[in-house]
Amino acid sequence: MKRQMPSTKELEREIKDRVKSMFRKDFEDATEEEIYRACAEVVNDVVIDNWLTTQKEFVKQDPKCVYYMSMEFLIGRLLGNNMINMRGYTEVMDALANLGVDINLIEDQEPDPALGNGGLGRLAACFLDSLATLQYPAYGCGIRYHYGMFKQKINDGFQEEVPDDWLQTRYPFELQRSEYEFEVKFGGWVRYENQPDGSTKYIHEGYNSVIATPYDMPITGFDNGMVNTLMIWDAKPKEVFRLASFERGDYNKAVEDMNLARNLTEVLYPNDNHIQGKELRLKQQYFFVSASLQRAIDKYLRYHNDIMRLPEKVVFQMNDTHPTLTVAELMRLLMDEHGLGWDDAWEVTTHCVAYTNHTIMAEALEKWPEDIFKGLLPRIYMIVEEINRRFCEEIKAKFPGDDEKVHRMAILADGQVKMAHMAICAGFSVNGVAALHTEILKNVSLHDFYEMYPEKFNNKTNGITQRRFLMHGNYKLSDWVIKKIGRGWITDLSQMEKLTMLLDDKKSLQQFMDIKLENKKRLAKYIFDHNGIAVDPNSIFDVQVKRLHEYKRQLLNILHVMYLYNQIKEHPEMDFYPTTFIFGAKASAGYENAKLIIKLINNVGAVINNDKSIDNKLKVVFIEDYRVSNAEWIFAAADVSEQISTASKEASGTGNMKFMLNGAVTIGTMDGANVEMYQELGGENIFIFGMSSDEVIAHEKNHDYNPVDEMNKNPHIQKVLSQLVNGNYSIDNPELFRPIYNSLLNTQCTERADTYFVLKDFASYCEAHEKIQEAYKDREKWARMALSNVAHVGKFSSDRTIQEYVDDIWHLDKLELK
């Protein structure tokens, strides 16, 4: 039976009791942190009961389930999310209010678990939310990084990285499950033994190993009593005593094992759309893949005896290439531990694994040097060699005489192990994350593979969960929508369509805009408290928040701000609607160009924000430490959403959808899921600019783009570029921004200059912004555009995405819950 949250009255009592039993304090004397912990336990009580019930039904009904394999789960804070999903948010809020405490302050005590970089990790978290809400059994499998995504401090305009010690105090929403520990082995060598029956036995020796210990986190569905599990793995050394006494006095090895365990799960690599080829990263990948597969097979064999029928109950979805070792490790377990021959093991594996591609960026394609790979995973390497041998035979048979093609497609080539090639070779499904992205995969970046296995390729356009990004982040709008069209949209976002009936209702439009203003005031206060900058909530809030990457073109945005500033200075009389440009972005710690762009944004802000002569027409704000928790408030407050990547480069984007859900109007290129937003919205409710992906791809192919031409024909660009290097924005060190200037214009080497076509799209971007200015001045028209965005957001729920994965790829069984 589903357990409900207690009533407000009961909650008041329970929270007070908890504070007393946990901290031996009266409520009045408790700190906010202590109250948070008490609330977490009260909510946990309900969650745990439902978790138990779900797991019991799981055993009884024996449904097929998905293991979502991902190096990243950017789950964000759980207290608020769990309260919403258990339908007790308002009750807790009221209980706390009755006790004289603001729920926001309490929620703010929770560390924001940032076990992910950006879109890829947040997508995984949204998927788990939707799976539980749709009652599909699922496990998230990942790593319990001790330090998640770093905290960003801005010091003199520069980014500084500070470790994110989210486990400093016990995290209330995780549960260590020591009963499910497994050993994972690295290094050593493989010995063969011929068996009497003619088969060969492979024995792994001389390895180092760690114990993988899982921590389970509950993933609650919305209002259905369903609770799935996110299992994140931590590493610990084999018992020190055992090491010393059983490893034949090999003290060095004991120390090595201990260090291995200590380092393995220490930190998340802070790279988004970029691979750092570090051996430790490969170790992390194998570690969580091996542990997760062992647990999955263990669970399967507890209730079934025919391992050949594993695909009937289990599917492993590989979130990008990071967990591709799933292929070879599953083969190893099936053959070496469970006695299958190659053909049977391959049959099972290729019906259990599927692969999602999340990018076409070349620097994100995972390739491991063969020697590192072989040294670290000797048995796995042997298996990969055999997979590769058979795969190359298959290519030759299908395309006789095309040796070039075999070389291009091989898993082992040029001294490297190509992870995507293995994922596609073994996966029964290969999907992209937006329609355009999937087309580019098929026609350009994975064309060879598409020719070989057209039936594997399919599209699953990304989505987001409306429970977190509207109900929790923007409860005012959420309540208003409930008043207007009921509650159906909470689990069926397509019902937002009903809002179209309000598009000509002046009173509703006004209410809608009043809520936006309230949200802008909330953000303005946050900005004042954190940045000391006073921004006018009545100005246009024009926002770009996402990871900093040159292809996402924050540079285009800030160059345009510099241009606007010039215009306002030159033409003080010009009719300009005051605008606040808001940025938030973390740059990977080693990505110099990206970090310099952050500095540029901050320096431009410092000049503009302090220039009294422009009468507060322009403000530039860089929000420090952009993360899930402040993102929710930022989306709620945005008027304009900047989705301006170079066409073809952003596989999908998901921030674009979160803004749309909150009634911001997009300025964007025809890239990623923007294309589908455009289709849902019609051209009049979105501002599209710039080159198409076909044009970009053609320029890249023909090498015929010269940014100097763009500069020469546009005096505004000339002026802005000269201001990059004349000390305008860096008096003390006029050369500071020279690397940015060179990246755009590098006259020695035009082929590599302005890789992302910033100057090429500049004029068209300026024009689109002029249209936004015009549109915003007509307040009613703008309200209609903004509300249209909410009304047409239905497609972009992760509930829709998950249902498509289930129908086309996973074929899961729904769990029945009373």
Q: Which residues are tagged catalytic? A: 358, 546-547, 552, 654, 658
Place of tokens 């669970």: 299
Nearer to ligand NBG, 533 or 697 (CB): 697
- Output the six-digit token pair for 293: 């597969």
Site stretch for ligand NBG (CB under 6 A), options 209-217, 246-254, 357-365, 774-782 = 357-365
Query: x/- site string to ligand NBG, residues 282 to 321, per CB under 6 A?
Result: --------------------------------------x-
Site stretch for ligand NBG (CB under 6 A), options 20-28, 503-511, 621-629, 645-653 = 645-653
Q: Which of 238, 313, 358, 784 binds ligand NBG (CB under 6 A)?
A: 358
Site stretch for ligand NBG (CB under 6 A), options 132-140, 374-382, 651-659, 777-785 = 651-659
Least distance between ligand NBG and beta carbon 9 (Å): 43
Least distance between ligand NBG and beta carbon 42 (Å): 34
What element of type H or E holds 176? strand 175-176
The SS3 of residue 67 is strand
Least distance between ligand NBG and beta carbon 268 (Å): 13
653 makes contact with ligand NBG (CB under 6 A): yes
Nearer to ligand NBG, 119 or 218 (CB): 119
Q: Distance (Å, rounded) from C-alpha 707 to C-alpha 712?
A: 9
- Are 635 and 523 contacting, i.e. CB atoms less than 8 angstroms apart? no
Least distance between ligand NBG and beta carbon 269 (Å): 12
Q: Which of 273, 465, 491, 743 binds ligand NBG (CB under 6 A)?
A: 273
Nearer to ligand NBG, 359 or 693 (CB): 359
329 makes contact with ligand NBG (CB under 6 A): no
Query: x/- site string to ligand NBG, residues 56 to 95, per CB under 6 A?
Result: ----------------------------------------
- Are 362 and 326 contacting, i.e. CB atoms less than 8 angstroms apart? no
Site stretch for ligand NBG (CB under 6 A), options 306-314, 358-366, 472-480, 747-755 = 358-366
Kindly give the residue spans of alpha helices, DSSP state H, lying in 549-591: 554-570
Q: Distance (Å, rounded) from C-alpha 435 to C-alpha 443?
A: 12
Q: Distance (Å, rounded) from C-alpha 568 to C-alpha 500?
A: 37
Size of the site for ligand NBG (CB under 6 A): 18
Nearer to ligand NBG, 294 or 641 (CB): 641
Nearer to ligand NBG, 588 or 662 (CB): 588
Nearer to ligand NBG, 313 or 322 (CB): 322
Least distance between ligand NBG and beta carbon 654 (Å): 5
Nearer to ligand NBG, 72 or 625 (CB): 72
Nearer to ligand NBG, 6 or 121 (CB): 121
Burial class (CB in 10 A: 0-12, 13-18, 19+), 267: middle
- What one-character DSSP code corresponds to residue 495? G
651 makes contact with ligand NBG (CB under 6 A): yes
433 makes contact with ligand NBG (CB under 6 A): yes
Question: How does DSSP assign 669-721, residue by residue?
Answer: -S-TTHHHHHHHH-GGGSEE-S--HHHHHHHHHHT---HHHHHHT-HHHHHHH
Site stretch for ligand NBG (CB under 6 A), options 57-65, 113-121, 450-458, 474-482 = 113-121
Least distance between ligand NBG and beta carbon 271 (Å): 9
Report the candidate in 329, 336, 303, 430 with the shortest Cα–Cα distance to residue 387: 329
Q: Which of 107, 129, 272, 710 binds ligand NBG (CB under 6 A)?
A: 272
Contacts of 351 (CB under 8 A, 6+ apart): 311, 428
Q: Distance (Å, rounded) from C-alpha 36 to C-alpha 109?
A: 6
- Output the six-digit token pair for 558: 């800030």
Report the candidate in 172, 175, 156, 181 with the shortest Cα–Cα distance to residue 215: 175
Distances (CA, A) of 484 to 488, 503, 639, 665: 11, 12, 22, 21
Handedness of CA 718, 724, 729, 733 (dihedral sign): negative
Nearer to ligand NBG, 273 or 519 (CB): 273
User: How many other β-carbons are positioned within 10 Å of the β-carbon of residue 654?
Assistant: 24
Kindly give the residue spans of alpha helices, DSSP state H, lying in 304-377: 325-332, 342-352, 370-376
Q: Which of 133, 135, 359, 630 binds ligand NBG (CB under 6 A)?
A: 359
114 makes contact with ligand NBG (CB under 6 A): no
Q: Distance (Å, rounded) from C-alpha 460 to C-alpha 434?
A: 6
Nearer to ligand NBG, 118 or 218 (CB): 118
Distances (CA, A) of 584 to 472, 517, 524, 624: 20, 20, 14, 7
642 makes contact with ligand NBG (CB under 6 A): no
671 makes contact with ligand NBG (CB under 6 A): no
654 makes contact with ligand NBG (CB under 6 A): yes
123 makes contact with ligand NBG (CB under 6 A): yes
Residues 243-262 that bind ligand NBG (CB under 6 A): none
Query: x/- site string to ligand NBG, residues 591 to 630, per CB under 6 A?
Result: ----------------------------------------
Least distance between ligand NBG and beta carbon 84 (Å): 23
Per-residue exposure over 452-477, b if at least 16 CB sit within 10 Å of its own CB, e if not: bbeebbbbbbbbbbbbbbbbbbbbeb
E strands, 505-550, in order: 540-545
Nearer to ligand NBG, 580 or 656 (CB): 656
Q: Which residues pair with 139 in a beta bridge?
A: 67, 229
- Are 584 and 622 contacting, i.e. CB atoms less than 8 angstroms apart? yes
462 makes contact with ligand NBG (CB under 6 A): yes
Least distance between ligand NBG and beta carbon 797 (Å): 15
Nearer to ligand NBG, 208 or 359 (CB): 359
650 makes contact with ligand NBG (CB under 6 A): yes
Site stretch for ligand NBG (CB under 6 A), options 116-124, 230-238, 523-531, 674-682 = 116-124
Least distance between ligand NBG and beta carbon 124 (Å): 9
Q: Distance (Å, rounded) from C-alpha 287 to C-alpha 207?
A: 14
Q: Which of 19, 114, 334, 364 binds ligand NBG (CB under 6 A)?
A: 364
Q: Distance (Å, rounded) from C-alpha 89 to C-alpha 43?
A: 10
Report the candidate in 16, 79, 17, 95 with the shortest Cα–Cα distance to residue 47: 79
SS3 assignment for 250-270: CHHHHHHHHHHHHHHCCECCC
SS3 assignment for 201-267: EEEEECCEEEEEEEEEEEEECCCCCCEEEEEEEEEECCCHHHHHHHCCCCHHHHHHHHHHHHHHCCE
Report the candidate in 773, 790, 769, 775 with the shortest Cα–Cα distance to residue 511: 790
Q: Distance (Å, rounded) from C-alpha 784 to C-alpha 801?
A: 27
672 makes contact with ligand NBG (CB under 6 A): yes
Q: How far is CA 498 from the centre of its chain?
A: 30
Q: Which residue is nearest to ligand NBG (CB)?
A: 119
Query: x/- site string to ligand NBG, residues 379 to 418, per CB under 6 A?
Result: ----------------------------------------
Q: Which amino acid is at 558?
A: I
Nearer to ligand NBG, 6 or 668 (CB): 668
Least distance between ligand NBG and beta carbon 117 (Å): 7
Query: x/- site string to ligand NBG, residues 466 to 505, per CB under 6 A?
Result: ----------------------------------------
Q: Contact positions toward ligand NBG, by CB under 6 A?
A: 118-120, 123, 272-273, 320, 358-359, 364, 433, 462, 650-654, 672
